[in-house]
Structure 1
Amino acid sequence: MTLYRKTRKLFTKPNLFMQDFLSKRGVNFNSKLRAPSHSNIKIMPVAIKDSPTDKSKVTIIKTANSKKIYSRVALDDAGETFYARLNECCKNMSMPFMTGAAPDKWMHAFHINHTDMQLFSRIMDFWFSDNENYFISYKKNTYSIKEAISRKDFYAQGNFDILCVEKEHHDSASNTKVYYSSIIHVVTWKKLDNYSSESVYSISEKNKYIHRLRAPAFEAHMKNHIKIDDDDNVSDIAFPIDVVYTWVDGNDNKWKEQKEMFSAVDQEIAIDNIESDENAGRAYSDERFRNRDELLYSLRSLEMYAPFVRNIFIVTCGQKPEWLSETSPKIKLVNHSDIYSNLDNLPTFNSSGIETQLHHIKELSEHFLYLNDDFMFADFCTPDDFFYPNGILKFFPSEARAYEHDIDDSREEYIVADRNAINLLSSCSNKKSRMIMKHAPYPCSKSYLYELENRFSKEFKTCAANRFRSITDLRPIAFMQYNFGYHESKAIQSDISNRYLALYKDSIKAQLNGVFVTRKYKTICINDVGITDDKIEQTNELTRDFLESYFPFKSSFEK
């Protein structure tokens, strides 16, 4: 049967036959049709762990011998190759279709008439089913092409996705294969009965560009393979988005000596003031500055799951990670001295103080994300996860609240900083807002941070002058801009799937394994807090193993 199919393909469509022939041998047919090589992938049905409208596809299957995970990435060679060939095959078979209006810019959309599902399935079977890199996903399940088109419910349902494997990784420790796949989203149109006096066609899902077309327009678009006009739409985020990291190498001996020298007097004074609370005084703790190369893996996660980022600014005290390559035009190293208004406040070891200065970064975009180096993108993200198209910030409150009446000066410095901000808001507006954010990327507005600095210049300067965390601090990004911004219509409450992983917990190994297997969080934070000295080495090894398994591919930012 296979021989018959291939012979028929050779004589009916020789150009496509040659594409298949060369593609399977890793030869570039032309610059637009480059084929990947993943010949060792086995086809198996898998269960999808996401909602029908969520295009951050993650599919998981467990077998007696292994686990298989499919995770969405942006379009690359495999997806572009498939999409170009699908267009050509459908044209050659005189099948009407149109393109454009994809749910986001990192996938393609392909529109067909639902009455052409049988023809489309024959095209998929004839030209693509021999390739083990392509799958069809619908109704929360993923199948090989042959399996999908053999199912009756495939023809009854509406829209579906074609997954194209771009990369794969086998994690030997957990015997898990992860297939990183781009998406071609297939949209089916149906004729509406008794809708109006005119014939009208409609799609069965939400789409920010199009929903219905009258028959003449629909038929013309399909016949001429029109790309639906999705340019310059107000629902799209068109502004650039940068990322800012703060980073320190706490293992650097020169930095340690400097920290010990400047902390001696400050710490002695602080200890006198915090004896009533065992949690206070962590401003000087080594755990706040410990380095496990989290930044390396965070950058890997960014390159894999946040393709919309323009520039990456890494703010340091003049240090540079040994593994970092500065050849990428995206990477910009920023010294504290480049952004601090008063250089007498340097060196600083106060992350809250640094927050008061980050918006001073030269060439920083108006909209940016602020990440600690222990924040990771754990699934595919788009700009809409963090901002609205009109520029308003999204923010992600946790269940925690900073109740100022229960916060005195003996509490930990960052908690007192939030009390200070609550009191500032109350004094200027007679309103209170106590929301504490999740440990997830912080969407920021540069102009609004400048506005807050100008309004509360005294408090900003005091915080910037504190070399270590202090009870006179503020947290302009992580707390102020959201609690103030919500009141002033600059920011709106939203949500993002996030997992906070506290490394001190006895259950941390099981938690890390759960995150790895389920892949249900868009962002994660691996927080270094409360680890006893006898568990540091064990925790370091566990953390590195997890990060290397979850983010196995070297990024373009590494040497």
Structure 2
Amino acid sequence: MINKRFSRLQLYKIVFIILFIMIISFIVLNINIINKNINNSSSNNINSNTNNNNINFNIKYIKRNQKININNISKNNLFKPLDTENIINRDCQYVDLVYTWVNGSDPDLLQLKSEILGDSNFEPHRFRDIGGLKYSLRSVKKYAPWIKNIYIITANQIPSWFNIENPGNIKSHLPTFNSNSIESNFWNLPEEVSNCFLYLNDDVFFRQPVRQEDFFDKDFNQVIYQVGERVRSSLEYDKYDAYFKIFINTNRLLDSLWNETKERVLPDHGVQVFNRKILIKMAEEFRNPLLETSSNRKRESNDIPISFVYNQFVKRYSNYSVGRPRSNLYIGLWNENDNYTRIDRSIELINNEKNAITVCVNDGFDFIDDTIDQKLSTLYESMFPEIGAHEL
């Protein structure tokens, strides 16, 4: 008799091979957030708004299922599942927040990732949960209470600290281990998600109070955040690492799309600011590269960095402003001879940094023991001690 666990894993594997499934469960958390009055005025750009609104926080689940048969996929069918007319015709009235989260400690998920990615490409720390989501949510309540709804894209999992009786049950999963693939489908979020939303990885948290105006002005023209690093199509591709190569490749695609040769600035890794009208515009004009990225279950050299491309579309089709530099503090927890010293230095840097809007704690340690885990927990608790209503 075939072992049940083996059968389940084999079934998952077959489903992954036959179908590229994007099943997104969106959770609106019970954090008692009340949105302030937002005065909108008309504008001539893609983000034009005309309505006034005062909106209270709602508690509900939103699901959207999208299935694409990868054997029959064409260049035209990726962007069919959502009727975009309502999105195009409506204006921003408030700002939502979207997260992606996965419990990388799930044994079945670890096994599946190993099979899909292969041992040489499998890096457990990329999927490990070190408590970032819990404290990021607390930071939203503390520093960004004007956000109306919070949505979490999850992998059919519930955090151990989450109060499942508060919002309901989670019954869906994300069969991809490539964040670029997930983000390439943001144009297709359910209609319930606001046209204007912020996106955070679960390793990013707010470090100081933020206003809606830090991301969208009163007319919902957006702010873009960039780093000083630039990319040109003329750069010698083979001289750069895999991370930077995707920017060179993407810059060349943009030059070809718009028949120009242009140096472009890389995006910051903190809060990513999105307008769904522009995402849909990307889906229309940049269809083929996005289709390829959406189909990649793991990171590939032909991936499109969504935030980078998005910023270029904003600059081309929308009114915008550029946020102040160094708004995000990036902490890379990379292996050293003494990881305890590394974590202590990182914690000291976080505590001493007073100007950053957000902090990203990127887990790159091969192994986190109880000592390091406790140090991180102590840091987070010192910054965000108030337990949320969505926590047990």
Q: TM-score, normalised by structure 1?
A: 0.49
User: Equivalents in 1 of 2:226, 2:363: separation in Å?
Assistant: 21
SS of the counterpart of 1:503? Answer: strand
- Which residue does the alignment assign to 1:501? 331
Tell me which amino acid in the other structure corresponds to 1:353: S
Q: 1:211-245 deviations in whole A, cap 9, x for unaligned?
A: xxxxxxxxxxxxxxxxxxxx969xxx982111111
Q: Does 1:302 align with 2:140?
A: yes
User: Equivalents in 2 of 1:518, 1:315: separation in Å?
Assistant: 30
- Which residue does the alignment assign to 2:313? 484
- Which residue does the alignment assign to 1:471? 301
User: Equivalents in 1 of 2:199, 2:305: separation in Å?
Assistant: 12
Question: What is the CA-CA distance between 1:490 and the residue it aligns to?
Answer: 4.8
Q: Does 1:285 align with 2:139?
A: no
1:462 to 283, 292, 301: 292
1:452 to 282, 286, 301: 282
Question: What is the CA-CA distance between 1:75 and the residue it aligns to?
Answer: 12
Q: Do 1:414 and 1:473's aligned partners in 2 also have CA atoms closer than 8 Å?
A: no
- Which residue does the alignment assign to 2:250? 421
1:319 to 132, 157, 161: 157
Q: Do 1:498 and 1:522's aligned partners in 2 also have CA atoms closer than 8 Å?
A: yes
User: Equivalents in 2 of 1:334, 1:474: separation in Å?
Assistant: 29
| Alignment RMSD (CA, Å) | 3.2
Question: What is the CA-CA distance between 1:435 and the residue it aligns to?
Answer: 1.5
User: Equivalents in 1 of 2:206, 2:229: separation in Å?
Assistant: 22
Question: What is the CA-CA distance between 1:473 and the residue it aligns to?
Answer: 0.5
Q: Residues 539, 402 of structure 1: CA spacing in aligned structure 2 closer, same or farther, 3 A cutoff?
A: farther
Question: What is the CA-CA distance between 1:356 and the residue it aligns to?
Answer: 0.5
Q: Residues 510, 414 of structure 1: CA spacing in aligned structure 2 closer, same or farther, 3 A cutoff?
A: closer
- Which residue does the alignment assign to 1:357? 185
Q: Do 2:204 and 2:359's aligned partners in 1 also have CA atoms closer than 8 Å?
A: yes
Structure 1: give runs of 5+ residues left out of the alignment: 1-73, 77-103, 107-230, 269-280, 338-346
The correspondence of residues 101-250 of structure 1 with structure 2, limited to 5 A, is: 239-250=93-104
SS of the counterpart of 1:528? Answer: strand
User: Equivalents in 2 of 1:448, 1:365: separation in Å?
Assistant: 13
Q: Do 2:177 and 2:297's aligned partners in 1 also have CA atoms closer than 8 Å?
A: yes
Question: What is the CA-CA distance between 1:513 and the residue it aligns to?
Answer: 2.7
Tell me which amino acid in the other structure corresponds to 2:212: P
User: Equivalents in 1 of 2:171, 2:93: separation in Å?
Assistant: 23
Q: 1:124-144 deviations in whole A, cap 9, x for unaligned?
A: xxxxxxxxxxxxxxxxxxxxx
Question: What is the CA-CA distance between 1:349 and the residue it aligns to?
Answer: 0.5
User: Equivalents in 1 of 2:320, 2:381: separation in Å?
Assistant: 35
Question: What is the CA-CA distance between 1:446 and the residue it aligns to?
Answer: 1.0
Q: Do 1:395 and 1:482's aligned partners in 2 also have CA atoms closer than 8 Å?
A: yes
Q: Residues 458, 238 of structure 1: CA spacing in aligned structure 2 closer, same or farther, 3 A cutoff?
A: closer
- Which residue does the alignment assign to 1:187? none
- Which residue does the alignment assign to 2:222? 393
Q: Residues 335, 357 of structure 1: CA spacing in aligned structure 2 closer, same or farther, 3 A cutoff?
A: farther
- Which residue does the alignment assign to 2:237? 408
Q: Do 2:92 and 2:194's aligned partners in 1 also have CA atoms closer than 8 Å?
A: no
Q: Does 1:554 align with 2:387?
A: yes
SS of the counterpart of 2:200? Answer: strand
Structure 2: give runs of 5+ residues left out of the alignment: 1-31, 38-50, 54-90
Question: How many pairs does the alignment contain?
Answer: 303
Q: Does 1:441 align with 2:274?
A: no
1:374 to 181, 197, 203: 203
- Which residue does the alignment assign to 1:95? none
User: Equivalents in 2 of 1:319, 1:410: separation in Å?
Assistant: 40
Question: What is the CA-CA distance between 1:324 and the residue it aligns to?
Answer: 1.5
Q: TM-score, normalised by structure 2?
A: 0.69
Q: Residues 540, 424 of structure 1: CA spacing in aligned structure 2 closer, same or farther, 3 A cutoff?
A: same
Q: Do 2:232 and 2:262's aligned partners in 1 also have CA atoms closer than 8 Å?
A: no
Tell me which amino acid in the other structure corresponds to 2:114: E
Q: 1:433-484 deviations in whole A, cap 9, x for unaligned?
A: 42122221101011111110121221111111111000010022x2111123
Q: Residues 536, 453 of structure 1: CA spacing in aligned structure 2 closer, same or farther, 3 A cutoff?
A: farther
User: Equivalents in 2 of 1:465, 1:365: separation in Å?
Assistant: 26
Q: In percent, how many aligned pairs have the same letter?
A: 28
Question: What is the CA-CA distance between 1:542 and the residue it aligns to?
Answer: 2.3
Q: Do 2:333 and 2:343's aligned partners in 1 also have CA atoms closer than 8 Å?
A: yes
Q: Do 1:381 and 1:522's aligned partners in 2 also have CA atoms closer than 8 Å?
A: yes
Question: What is the CA-CA distance between 1:492 and the residue it aligns to?
Answer: 2.9
Q: Residues 542, 402 of structure 1: CA spacing in aligned structure 2 closer, same or farther, 3 A cutoff?
A: farther
Q: 1:180-229 deviations in whole A, cap 9, x for unaligned?
A: xxxxxxxxxxxxxxxxxxxxxxxxxxxxxxxxxxxxxxxxxxxxxxxxxx
User: Equivalents in 2 of 1:314, 1:375: separation in Å?
Assistant: 14
My pick for the range that moved more, 396-405 or 368-377, is 396-405
Tell me which amino acid in the other structure corresponds to 1:248: V
User: Equivalents in 1 of 2:350, 2:387: separation in Å?
Assistant: 21
Q: Do 2:233 and 2:263's aligned partners in 1 also have CA atoms closer than 8 Å?
A: no
Q: Does 1:542 align with 2:375?
A: yes
Question: What is the CA-CA distance between 1:411 and the residue it aligns to?
Answer: 5.1
Q: Residues 420, 488 of structure 1: CA spacing in aligned structure 2 closer, same or farther, 3 A cutoff?
A: farther
> Which structure would you say has the larger RCO, counting Cα contacts within 8 Å and 6 or more residues apart?
2
Question: What is the CA-CA distance between 1:532 and the residue it aligns to?
Answer: 4.5
Tell me which amino acid in the other structure corresponds to 1:499: L
Q: Residues 458, 248 of structure 1: CA spacing in aligned structure 2 closer, same or farther, 3 A cutoff?
A: same
- Which residue does the alignment assign to 1:524? 359
Tell me which amino acid in the other structure corresponds to 1:322: S
Q: 1:495-515 deviations in whole A, cap 9, x for unaligned?
A: 263211122375542342343
Q: Residues 554, 434 of structure 1: CA spacing in aligned structure 2 closer, same or farther, 3 A cutoff?
A: same
User: Equivalents in 1 of 2:208, 2:169: separation in Å?
Assistant: 25
Tell me which amino acid in the other structure corresponds to 1:495: R
- Which residue does the alignment assign to 1:152? none
Question: What is the CA-CA distance between 1:403 and the residue it aligns to?
Answer: 4.1
